Amino acid sequence: MMAMEYDQRTVKQPVHFTGIGVHSGATVHLTIKPAPPNHGIFFRRVDLPAQPAIKAHFNRVVDTSLATVIGDQGCIVSTIEHVMACLAGLSIDNAVVEIDSHETPIMDGSAAQFTQLIKTAGIASQNVPRMYFAVKSPIKLEKDGKYVHLLPDDRFKITCTIAFDNPVIGNQTFSLELTENSFETEICRARTFGFLHELETMKFYGLAKGGSLDNAVVIHENTIMNEGGLRYPDEFVRHKILDCIGDFSLLGMPIIGHVILYKSGHHFNHAFLKEFFKQKVSWETMTLREFESSRQKNPGPAAL
């Protein structure tokens, strides 16, 4: 049996988080609440009049320069990618994310705390079939030495390569089949990272007020400044996969296919999502049972 879910899922009970916004430096309270089948993920700004809700969907993305930001009805929620990666990694389709600020809490710079607390609170199956985007033919976007390719496969896989002109990072590639277990053990603890000079520049311009060694891997020249070092030898590329999972979840449904990324980030990921919807002949929506049935009838090779 595939390690994908047949039915939609939500959280069993509300899960509460408190942390600081990495750019605002303000204390933020965030609560993930259960939602009914076919609801999707919505962020609700409980600090604003009328508590407007924003759908976590690629067509609500308003900025990708420093993080993934969604907006609607004159309000925004910034830096949603780690929360979204956690929900996608745990196959949670329906939830309301209540937040009392314009920016999610950065926690430790990864999705580990989100993942741990949601797992502890429990995940509920909703007995309604989960729909997938089943990729039938390749979709590719290439520009300025970067690319994202999406190929047919019989499960959801991600292969990511990064290349930095810095000896601490260098070239790294990581590949995995995304399951709840692989997300929890291989990806969710990978932290965001940056260079000290970038952090200092952002702070000078009033950004990254909450950024510190508590919530990012910081590199200075050839040295990792964090006392504990890295959580994985290739933590950098694993975090890029974490970001990718969060960004691709904004398609609104999970994928059955193989995502291959080279030097991509939030902005390029978002550009690919737009390309994905332009190429509707390359995929179709179906339940997992429908996909398995179609594979049995046409057992041709998956992606090469």
Task: Report the b/e string of 38-49 with b at 16+ CB within 10 A.
Answer: ebbbbbbbeeee
Average pLDDT over residues 285-304: 80
Total domains present in the chain? 2
Residue 76's SS3 state is: strand
Residue 301, pLDDT > 60, answer no
Q: Are residues 118 and 159 in the same domain?
A: no
Residue 304, pLDDT > 60, answer no
Q: Are residues 71 and 135 in the same domain?
A: no
Average pLDDT over residues 110-132: 98
Average pLDDT over residues 186-197: 96
Average pLDDT over residues 203-230: 92
Task: Given the residues 23, 102, 266, 270, select the one marked as catalytic.
Answer: 266
Is the pTM here over 0.85, yes or no?
Answer: yes
Q: Are residues 151 and 64 in the same domain?
A: no
At 164, which CATH number?
3.30.1700.10
What is the DSSP code string of 143-179?
ETTEEEEEE--SSEEEEEEEE-SSTTT-EEEEEEE--
Nearest one of 168, 153, 185 to 301, comparing CA atoms: 153
pLDDT, tens only, 4-22: 999 999 999 999 999 999 9
| Amino acid residing at 133 | F
303 part of a folded domain: no
pLDDT, tens only, 53-76: 999 999 999 999 889 999 998 999
Nearest one of 167, 38, 183 to 110, comparing CA atoms: 183
Largest CA-CA distance found in the chain, in angstroms, rounded:
60
Q: Which domain holds residue 32?
A: 7-129
197 is catalytic: no
Q: Are residues 191 and 260 in the same domain?
A: yes
Q: What is the mean pLDDT of the chain?
A: 95
Answer with the one of 71, 97, 129 that is the final residue of a domain: 129
Q: Are residues 43 and 117 in the same domain?
A: yes
Q: Are residues 150 and 115 in the same domain?
A: no
